[in-house]
Amino acid sequence: MGKRSANASQSGWRHAGASLRCLMAIVLAWSGGVAANDDAPDEQTSGSDHYFSFYLDNDLFANSDKDYTNGIRFSLISGERSLISLAPFRDQLERMAAWAGDDDTVSRWSGFARGNVADKNLQLNYGLSLTQLMFTPEDPFSTTQPEGQRRYAGWLGVGFSVHASDEQALNSAELIIGTVGPRSLAEQAQDLVHDIRGIDKFQGWDDQVPNEFTLDLALTQKRRLRLVDERPSAFSVDGFTEGSLRLGTFRTGARVGGLLRAGFHLTPDFSDPRLDATAYSHRLFKSGKRARAMPNWSLYGLLGANAGAVLFDATLDGPLFKNFETGNTREPWVAESYLGFGFRWRTFEFSYVHTWRTREFEEQDERSAFGSLAVLFRFELDH
């Protein structure tokens, strides 16, 4: 491609610095608000327990470097502590996650046990996340989009979430504010990694999807599967079914799926194995036996699958409020399966899964594959 200007690069990194300073301010303000709250903790989950997670998706694990090529996410999930009013629409997110009322209809659709909402017997956790996604064509040297290949695109978003759970269900609501285009800093992030690894840089970022701010609402419900008795020191199998809906100017769609785990000393708190909206890292469900004393380690394998409809994707359809042709035709139905493993040592957990995904746009010549790393760390903040 034509040589990128130094001014553009400097501007991008100034924007990155400003974004990171803003995020740090949010985290520090939020942490202070958490520590100042005197609500009583749940009987089985310390109110001061917080969970930090790091997610990395990359297709290099599948010996590829195209299409959905990289995703990274940092997330923080609180104990049962209220976010300060800085979080936008906190009350509305709480109502969406915790529902309202206690009749049969609410119980059936929320998945919560009858009466838990009315009796305020739900565990509430709050989340903050920073996510970046990156998409590139297969040919790294063309200065414009190669015909039939994916358009360059990046997305950067900050999410505020509320998660409500009881013994059998978890409902999550997340408001996500972000941007597609050069402001996502996808080009700078990829260049940095390629510099470190000594890999040729992609030359067509000047031809990426243009800037546009995005606003999305993501709703997810998980329902617990109990497949064997909960025995604190034995082999066991667990999992959940999952349904999600996302409405917004970055993505709109819905899907259903599920996950199974099998292993030793399974705890009810673990990190979602893959980067996704409302990705959750905490005690999934308010649990009995396995929520108490557990050995210091866990080892498990996992598998899962999901399928759903994609009604809009700014990286394939172009920004919603701009007339921009990406050169791609979005597939309306996408499915994926994944297989992996994980282990826990005390308050640290690691997992890896490999995902196989069907074609996301008509010009795509084959299904895509990528690997996902997830790291979970549990910690406490002083009151």
Query: Which sign, positive or negative, has the C-alpha torsion 69, 53, 222, 98?
Result: negative
pLDDT digits (tens, 9 = 90+) for 284-303: 887 654 445 678 999 999 99
| Topology, domain 6-36+51-380 | Lipocalin (2.40.128)
For the segment 114-139, the average pLDDT, to the nearest whole number, is 86
Per-residue pLDDT band at 229 (split at 50, 70, 90): low
pTM of this structure: 0.84
Domains of the chain: which residue ranges? 6-36+51-380
Beta strands in the chain (DSSP E): 49-58, 67-77, 123-136, 153-165, 169-180, 212-226, 235-248, 251-264, 269-271, 281-283, 297-313, 333-345, 348-357, 368-380
Q: Is the confidence at residue 64, as pLDDT, over 50?
A: yes
Look at residues 116, 27, 35 and name the one whose alpha carbon lies nearest to residue 82: 35
User: Residues in the chain, how many?
Assistant: 383
Instruction: Indicate the DSSP class of residue 182.
Output: G
pLDDT digits (tens, 9 = 90+) for 149-193: 999 999 999 999 999 988 889 999 999 999 999 999 999 999 998
